[in-house]
Amino acid sequence: GENVEQHPSTLSVQEGDSAVIKCTYSDSASNYFPWYKQELGKRPQLIIDIRSNVGEKKDQRIAVTLNKTAKHFSLHITETQPEDSAVYFCAAPFGAGGTSYGKLTFGQGTILTVHP
Partner 1 sequence: NAGVTQTPKFQVLKTGQSMTLQCAQDMNHNSMYWYRQDPGMGLRLIYYSASEGTTDKGEVPNGYNVSRLNKREFSLRLESAAPSQTSVYFCASSGRGGYGYTFGSGTRLTVV
Quote the DSSP letter at residue 65. E
CA distance 70 to 40: 32
Which of 13, 20, 26, 49 is in the footprint of partner 1 by CB under 8 A?
A: 49
CA distance 90 to 37: 9
CA distance 1 to 16: 38
> Which of 21-29, 56-64, 75-83, 86-94 is the region at the interface with partner 1 (rule: CB under 8 A)?
86-94
Kindly state whether residue 29 participates in binding partner 1, applying the rule CB under 8 A. no
CA distance 51 to 49: 7
> Which of 21-29, 54-62, 71-79, 93-101 is the region at the interface with partner 1 (rule: CB under 8 A)?
93-101
Which of 25, 109, 112, 114 is in the footprint of partner 1 by CB under 8 A?
A: 109
Per CB under 8 A, residues contacting partner 1 are 1, 6, 32, 34, 36, 42-46, 49, 89, 91, 93, 99-109
